[in-house]
Chains A and B, each alone.
Chain A
Amino acid sequence: MSTRSRREFILESAKLAALACLAQGAGRGVADAQLPDGLQWHKAPCRFCGTGCGVLVGVRNGRVVGVQGDRDCSVNKGLLCAKGYHAGAVLYGGDRLTRPLIRRNGELEPATWDEAVDVIARRIMEDPSRFSIYGSGQWTIPEGYTAMKFFKGGCSSNHLDPNARLCMASAVVGFLTTFGVDEPSGCYDDFDVCDTVITWGNNWAEMHPVLFSRIIDRRGRGETVEYIDLSTRRTRSTEAADQHMVFVPHTDLAIANCLAHELLAAGTYDQDFVANHVRFKANDGADISVDGYKAFLDDYTPEKVSELSGLSVAQLKHLADVFADPDRKVLSLWCMGMNQHTRGTWINNLVYNLHLLSGKFGKPGSTAFSLTGQPSACGTCREVGTLAHALPGGRLVANEEHRKEVEDHWNAKPGAISAQPGLHAVALFKALTAGDITGMWVQVTNPAQTMPNLHANVDGATDRFLVVSDIYPTVTTQIADVVLPSALWVEKNGLFGNSERRTQQWFKLVAPPGGARDDVWQMLAVARRMYDLGFEGMRDRDGNFLMSIKDDDGNAIEAWKWDVYNSVNVDRLIFEDYRPLTLKKHKDVAPYDELTKVAGLRWPVVQGESGEWVETRRRFVEGEDPYVEEGKGIQFYMAQAGDDRAIVWARPYEPPPELPDEEYPFWLATGRVLEHWHTGTMTGRVKELARAMPHAYVEVHGNDARTLGLKDGDRVRVISRRGEVELPAVVDGRGVPQPGSVFVPFFDERLLVNRVTLDEFCPMSKQPDYKKCAVRLEKV
């Protein structure tokens, strides 16, 4: 194809994409919403949490002017939370980054894109296998896939890990060890029919408010839903609970085992389900019998566990009765309380144990559902596999067959993908500090605020070569050597994957400000510069550009050129390149063009007899999941042993690595608040959100406040063995920690609580525990 005809083709594609966009709007009735002043509403997923609410974005004269809930999206049915409603304003903060910056003589100075791309390409080429990329659960699917091909395929560096490691890695390893494959089997439809919901250390009234309302609002319609809040702190969620059960931090391990003990001791477990679908394993992986499992549980009588956990025997027995009742539909929910845990994998396993033993699994309203923190932790980090040990579609770098499949798909040279898993987030930052990793590219996240124990993990890394792609100045851009201004949310095309396996697509609706450009383009441009500079890793088996983007006819387009990139829907082409890789583990995502028509589809999405694409509400369930064989009922078809059985694990209680003592007598938990998204980079620039929650604080229980002589607003130093932060105290605020513990939100870039936190992590998932460390308080 000549250059001219290729360009014509590109323009034609752009027109088709625009027409497709209009057709999509018409199909959903959105085109009817056109107003005389040019206002149009377009579908997108919300930019914030893993709930994945459908929004309609109002656009007029090239600007976002409003956001409302999409009533056609079954996730949220028209409702949003305060962050979602104000998501449009995050585009318009006064200090958006609009041009690349390069550090020269200690100062970040404006530079051209060409200079920035060149600097980065040359630095990576100096030592590509020791260069790293630290990404995000807010990466779109095409962004994660591009980073994967760039680093794992092009640089032979598996040092690619996301902030999702800090967020849901324990959930991933929990799913893998119990079911042999990642991600929830249930979905939000289960929320509408459960009888009892149990939250395990989760303040979902603030963190997943739309899902919280989805259950609580059922009461307003006359339905009865029992809600048991099992937690270490009184929160907004607690106010809606029928029972609040406060336990000593980390003893959730023993509590779950105690409930299993009760089910087995009383013989009230679901014996058919266990006989047909479950096998038992000791903690070391050896197969054990039911009797062996019973013997393991001997240590977890209600009396013993009551003493350890602080729950009463009656509370423990009530919980066990909930699971023992064969007619009750039970939903377990959790998020960071279980995942940010030095035994995060174990506690995930233990909660699945309860649902498997009681047969409360795979039936409408009965499931164990791991809520996700970020909008595409599932879609990008878990499905694309942007983790140090993973490859797309549930594959592993350590598996030769998996590497070969991906190398073949990319037409990469044999052996291009290293067999050595890369470093996980905490280890990556430690290696960066030590100089074993020579450089890092950070995208869509702010590690200088969010890494645990900042002094040990980030302070020493400031001498390394650090590239940061972001939309506003952050504490991470402050220490960067190159800052790249990025496009945000509806300033680019994108796809996310939410907590319930729903892949969600949106179109670019407005232009990014000034010189800001898409993260995908940034990576393509640097990769192409490396190719042009003769870097072998960026050549495929035929000597062509490894990361070339091919159109529907298989012709390569020059997507590393911004004008070409802008004239084609590159996202669609990348997603369609990725899609075949999802089939192996039956995570079949829907075709891009199908996703343009609806507010997301839940995988596996397969084509029905008449050609329609059908989503799956519940995995492993006959009649719902197309991969379950007829007559099986429930089939765990990805079981590692190939026996279609899920595993009940005998995981013991183990004390946390740091306990309060005389010198540091308080537990510290960190977390989020409703108004702010993670580090406040976006939400801190929205007037309504920043006004409602202007700064961080430390929540103290009234008894402790009396002892320390504290009242609201008094300045307090929160001090650990690692560092300190000075904050105003609140004695009876939005949350009330139990006596002997305090809580600090982490959104405030001026009050960095991660100077104090501990960087111990779950040895299986490598996810750090931000919920427990020992501190002392000093009134200032």
Chain B
Amino acid sequence: MTVRSYPKPASALVVVLLTGELGPIAWSQQGTGRSELRAFYTAPPVIPHELVDERDTGTCLVCHQSVVELEERVSVRTPHPEFTNCLQCHLRSVTPGWMTPKPSVETAWQGLEEPTTGGRAHALAPPTIPHRLFLRDRCRVCHGLDHPNEAMRTPHPERWSCRQCHLAGAPEF
């Protein structure tokens, strides 16, 4: 008989941090691209992996406060660490093994698409920002040199005042 000890989550997390191993955490089969994780543009992205701790949402920040490499995965840093109730907005897309996944949901929903680029006033102008800035106004979180996706990194990291040149190109509300 296998019975989980109680309490689990904190100890599981300690193991992760000490050993650097995620253990048997399931990952989503679908991609982790921007639009694949969102129901529509401006929706909070879903979580592409099983939750380490379903109850204590503060544990998310253990990996997502900075860029952490675990096995072959690299975590993405949150652009709004001041909000700590992460699971308020971010839904898991992988349920724990004991749950039966929901068969696909029949829906005619078509969400707003992601803007592709911010556009430029002319060929030599700096590109405008293609996304809204609410909750996403810390430019270096996603455009710093430590972002896992090279295409996201700024080509001129020595410049610190991003919005001196890059104007908001998406409507702000």
Contacts and interface: CB of A to CB of B under 8 A. Distances in A.
Given A713-B97, A728-B98, A60 B112 contact: yes
A377 to B, nearest CB: 22
B82 A220 contact: yes
Contact of B43 (A32, A86, A95): A86
A295 to B, nearest CB: 44
A330 B98 CA distance: 41
Interface string A657-687: 0000000000000000011000000001111
B160 interface: no
Contacts of B54: 733-734
B85 interface: yes
A80 B171 contact: no
A213 interface: yes
Given A92-B108, A93-B106, A706 B85 contact: no
Contacts of A406: none
B134 A689 contact: no
Contact of B39 (A80, A86, A697, A728): A86
Contacts of A736: 6-7, 55
B33 interface: no
B110 A66 contact: no
B95 A691 contact: yes
Given A690-B102, A736-B6, A33 B91 contact: no
Given A205-B85, A209-B85, A706-B3, A694 B107 contact: no
B88 to A, nearest CB: 4
B161 interface: no
Interface residues on B, range: 35 or more
**Interface of B (DSSP majority class):** loop
Interface in A64-99: 65-71, 78-82, 85-86, 88-89, 91-95
Contacts of B42: 58, 66, 68
Contacts of B101: 691, 694
A200 B159 CA distance: 51
A133 B76 CA distance: 52
Given A30-B173, A71-B134, A674-B87, A692 B39 contact: no
Most buried by B among A66, A685, A703: A66
Interface string A697-727: 1000111011001111100000000000000
A693 B95 CA distance: 8
Interface string B68-105: 00000000000001111101111111011111111011
Given A82-B90, A89-B107, A221-B82, A713 B98 contact: yes
B4 A711 contact: yes
Contacts, number: 199
A409 interface: no
B164 interface: no
Interface stretch (A116-124, A232-240, A603-611): A232-240
B150 interface: no
A692 B97 contact: no
Contact of A88 (B3, B57, B87, B111): B111
A695 B84 contact: no
Contacts of A641: none
B21 interface: no
B99 A731 contact: no
B1 interface: yes
B91 A675 contact: yes
Contacts of B40: 58, 65-66, 88
Contacts of A60: 112
Nearest to B104: A687
A395 to B, nearest CB: 39
Interface string A156-177: 0000000000000000000000
B105 A33 contact: no
Interface string B28-63: 000000000001111110100000001111100000
Contacts of A235: 55
A506 interface: no
A95 B166 CA distance: 45
**Interface of A (DSSP majority class):** mixed
Given A66-B41, A687-B39, A88 B102 contact: no
B116 interface: no
Interface string A223-244: 0000000000011101110000
B55 A65 contact: no
A216 interface: yes
A266 interface: no
Contacts of B134: 68-69, 71, 78
A688 interface: yes
Contact of B112 (A39, A70, A702): A39
Interface in B123-173: 134-135, 171, 173
Contacts of A728: 98-100
Nearest to A734: B54
Given A221-B82, A730-B98, A71 B173 contact: yes
A35 B134 CA distance: 18
B173 A82 contact: no
Nearest to A61: B110
B95 A66 contact: no
Nearest to A209: B88
A694 B95 contact: yes
27 contacts: A39-B112, A41-B173, A58-B42, A65-B40, A66-B43, A66-B112, A85-B44, A85-B89, A88-B109, A94-B107, A205-B57, A209-B85, A213-B88, A220-B84, A221-B82, A236-B55, A238-B55, A686-B107, A687-B107, A688-B91, A692-B46, A709-B1, A710-B3, A713-B98, A728-B98, A732-B9, A734-B55
Which 10 pairs of residues, A with B, have the shortest CB-CB distance? Answer: A713-B98, A94-B106, A702-B6, A694-B102, A712-B98, A209-B88, A692-B91, A66-B112, A239-B56, A65-B112
Interface of A: 29-30, 32-33, 35, 39, 41, 56, 58, 60, 63, 65-71, 78-82, 85-86, 88-89, 91-95, 205, 209-210, 212-213, 216-217, 219-221, 234-236, 238-240, 674-675, 684-695, 697, 701-703, 705-706, 709-713, 728, 730-736
Given A33-B171, A66-B41, 7 more contacts: A58-B42, A94-B106, A685-B107, A713-B98, A731-B3, A734-B54, A736-B55
Interface of B: 1-9, 39-44, 46, 54-58, 81-85, 87-93, 95-102, 104-112, 134-135, 171, 173
